[in-house]
Amino acid sequence: MHQHKAIVIGSGVAGLATAIRLSVQGFETTVFERNSYPGGKLSLIEKEGYRFDAGPSLFTQPQNIEQLFNDADENIESYFQYSNVPLSCRYFYDDGKVLNAYTDAQQFEHELQQVMGEEPGSLSRYLAKSKKLYESIGAVFLNNSLHKRKTWLQPSIMKALGNVKFPYLFGTLHGYNQQQFYNPQTIQLFNRFATYNGSNPYQTPGMMSLIPHLELNEGTFYPKGGMISITNALYQLALKKGVRFEFNSSVQNIIQHQGKVKGVVVNDENYFADAVVSNADVYFTYRNLLKDESKSTRLLKQERSCSGVIFYWGMKKEFPQLHLHNIFFSGNYKAEFDFIFKRKQLYSDPTVYVNITSKMEAGQAPEKKENWFVLINAPAHTQQNWEQVKQELKQNIIQKISKVLNENIGDAIELEETLDPITIENRTGSYLGALYGTSSNNRMAAFKRHPNFLSSVKGLYFCGGSVHPGGGIPLCFKSAEIVSKLVASDYKIKTH
pLDDT in tens, the chain (496 residues): 457 999 999 999 999 999 999 999 999 999 999 999 999 999 999 999 999 999 999 999 999 999 999 999 999 999 999 999 999 999 999 999 999 999 999 999 999 999 999 999 999 999 999 999 888 877 777 777 767 777 666 776 666 666 666 556 678 999 999 999 999 999 999 999 999 989 999 999 888 999 999 999 999 999 999 999 999 999 999 999 999 999 999 999 999 999 999 999 999 999 999 999 999 999 999 999 999 999 988 888 888 889 999 999 999 999 999 999 999 999 999 999 999 999 999 999 999 999 999 999 999 999 999 999 999 999 999 989 999 999 999 999 999 999 999 999 999 999 999 999 999 999 988 988 888 777 777 766 666 789 999 999 999 999 999 998 988 999 999 999 999 999 999 998 876 5
User: How far is residue 152's CA from residue 442's CA, in Å, rounded to a whole number?
Assistant: 22
List Cβ neighbours of 293 (8 Å cut-off, separation of 6 or more).
287
- Please name which of 490, 489, 487 lies closest in space to residue 21, comparing C-alpha atoms: 487
pTM: 0.95
Strands across the sheet containing 87-92: 98-102, 87-92, 325-328, 352-355, 370-378, 307-315, 413-419
pLDDT of residue 301: 83
Amino acid (1-letter code) at residue 234: L
